[in-house]
Amino acid sequence: MTKVRAPLSFSLAITTVIAVVGWADAGRITRRANRTLRHWSESDRKGTPTLDQAIALDRAFIEAGGDYAPILESYARQLNVTLAASMACHAALGEDIAAVSRETADAIGASIQIIQPGASPTAVHRAIAETEEAGVRLTRLLGRLKSFLPGNGAAQGYSGGR
């Protein structure tokens, strides 16, 4: 029976390497028994090769004619998936900062018009509307900034410093 393996998983990468290198050479390269190699190649089992073993397996795969490093590619894809949410949050923060900057500038510009002699009620209403819009954008920015605190979304799962 063929087991289904997750697309980005190390188990699929190990299976890909072993299909080209063979069980015996993979065991010799890693100095591990076939049982251990089988565990590494099964998605429902815990355990992965060490970094040195993974490098050796990827190297053996390439030397046997493979055109990429399956374990390295698996790691890179998994890392990209985990970073996607964080990167999106940073991009959204940048967009919110730009929106606050634009709306605040509009509010200040409209408010300066009121200083001029003979400012109309329409100018006052425009300044109020622009200032309210800037307030809405500031509130959104505040919420986005709070999401970067540990345990509040963007920072979840991140243990490094900002």
Ordered DSSP codes for 6-26? -TT-HHHHHHHHHHHH-HHHH
Residue pLDDT, tens place only, 113-153: 999 999 999 999 999 999 999 999 999 999 888 888 877 66
In angstroms, the CA 39 to CA 91 distance is 39
**pTM, entire model:** 0.56
Residue pLDDT, tens place only, 10-48: 999 999 999 999 999 999 999 999 999 999 998 778 889
CA nearest neighbour of 45 among 15, 1, 83, 18: 15
In angstroms, the CA 14 to CA 36 distance is 11
